[in-house]
Amino acid sequence: MSEITWSRARHRSAALLLSAAIFALAVPASAAERAKNVILFIGDGMGVATLTAARIYEAQQRGADGASNHLSFEAFPNLGLVRTYSADSLVTDSAAGASAILTGQRTLNGALGVNDQVRRGDCASVTGSTVPTLAELARRKGLATGVVSTAAITDATPASLYAHTPSRQWQSDADLPPEAVAAGCKDIARQMLDGPKALQLDVMLGGGGGAFLPGEADGKRLDGRDLTAEWRASGGAYVKTGSALAAVPKGTKRLLGLFAPGNMMRENARTATQTDAPRLTQMTVKAIEVLSQNKQGYFLMVEGALIDKAHHISLAQEALNETVELSKAVAAALAMTDPKDTLIIVTADHSHGLTINGGARDTSILGLLPGNEDDPAKALDGKAVPILMYASGPGAAPVGELRPDPAQLDTADPDQRNFAAVPLYSAAHTGEDIATYATGPGAQGVHGLMDHPAVFEVMRKALALP
């Protein structure tokens, strides 16, 4: 095929895809495609390599074959690949990625709930740049809304449901620069409670208590406000432990749970310390119990945030463990809902540079290449080859030093950093497409090659939102 012919074919194909997408979005959802409820699961940093390694890990933990295993959502009938770039970068951060999924519009890395006309860190540029979130649209229609996250609920992904800001860093007023304060910008925690009550979330469960409490109450707020007390004064229930969450009375319709000053503990650490904090699955179950009291329906977003947090510090086993926990939360949601009226989508905001180098079927995914014709047991430096490694991150050898021999390390230790090729204090996100799974009314909208904003449109259409 000549270059000219190829160029014409490429443009024709792009035009056909665009036309099909516009037509699909313009056609109203039929009754069969209409959902009463939507549950969106976001595995932060959950790229395809993470999914593959997690399914192997999950099976191997119970003595089964990993390669043929499935995570709970991998049995969903609808699957698409989603492009994840932001308005200003080939590789998105969590703020821009989640905002595209929750507003249908791409924005700059670091920004939340605004379009691409905002200027990063510029408070004044927010005026005229805000866009409504799916949660706000759902509340206007009378649906209940909620968010669950193992990060602080003022962190980028959960904040994408309710915050409109040019900086994801402004989680409490202590984080606001003087010029933002002078311009009247509100911090993210304050936005969650200071907005119109009709648009406020009904359920918020996660970490991040420090952004809601004043300094004298072990928080970080400078304005002296105790936002948890204000939540209680407005009629909402507030809990701080897993035991208290389990004991929340039936009939509770507004619930705030803050189980850590910042991000919550990873599962391994929570179990080892016996900390009284809920698992992602327990928070998901409670959120559904509360939200499902609304007869008109609900929208819930659940984030497995610690997948990303573990990847950033080169802890592959911890990332896989958190991915398995997300799979359990999805399974719990499936068991609690009716597939005829609830659309469930599982996706990611971006990927990470995790690589699976090989290994025999019976080799631990956490271990080393056993060695054969295709996968030599040792690299050219004479040292063992890890099955899992990263493109970048703090797992790299110190600058100027040779990499350690993985054969001399305890690769099964969850605190053992996996080798990274490029030394960085925090591993970089990567820009490849991520997998998105869907089941329930409207799930057929998830297919082929999509963009993050198209995932928003699938949910908006299923809920018949404006």
Exposed, middle or buried: residue 195 (CB in 10 Å: 0-12, 13-18, 19+)?
middle
CB burial string 214-252: b at 16+ within 10 A, e below = beeeebbbeeebbbbeebeeeebbbbbebeebeebeeeb
Q: Which helix (H) or strand (E) holds 189?
A: helix 188-194
CA separation for the pair 322, 85 (Å, rounded): 24
What is the Cα 55 distance to its own chain's centre?
18
Q: Are strands 237-239 and 255-258 parallel, antiparallel or unpaired?
A: parallel
E-assigned strand segments in 6-143: 37-43, 78-83
Exposed, middle or buried: residue 405 (CB in 10 Å: 0-12, 13-18, 19+)?
middle
User: Residue 462: what are its φ and ψ, rounded to 5°?
Assistant: -65, -35
CA separation for the pair 282, 245 (Å, rounded): 9
Which of 7, 19, 89, 94 is catalytic? The answer is 94
Give the three-class secondary structure for 78.
strand
Residues ≥6 apart with Cβ < 8 Å to 147: 135, 153, 158, 161, 162, 201, 203, 204, 205, 206, 300, 301, 302, 303
Distances (CA, A) of 154 to 85, 159, 193, 261, 366: 23, 5, 12, 11, 33
Length of the chain: 466
CA separation for the pair 281, 150 (Å, rounded): 10
Contact 387, 284 (CB under 8 A): no
Residues ≥6 apart with Cβ < 8 Å to 117: 125, 128, 129
Place of tokens 């919550």: 264
Which tokens hold the place of 426?
A: 């925090």
Indicate the residue type of 35: A
User: Residue 145: what are its φ and ψ, rounded to 5°?
Assistant: -140, 150
CB burial string 46-56: b at 16+ within 10 A, e below = bbbbbbbbbbb
Contact 44, 157 (CB under 8 A): yes
For the question of residue 364 being annotated catalytic, the response is no
Which tokens hold the place of 78?
A: 């609808």
Active site residues: 94
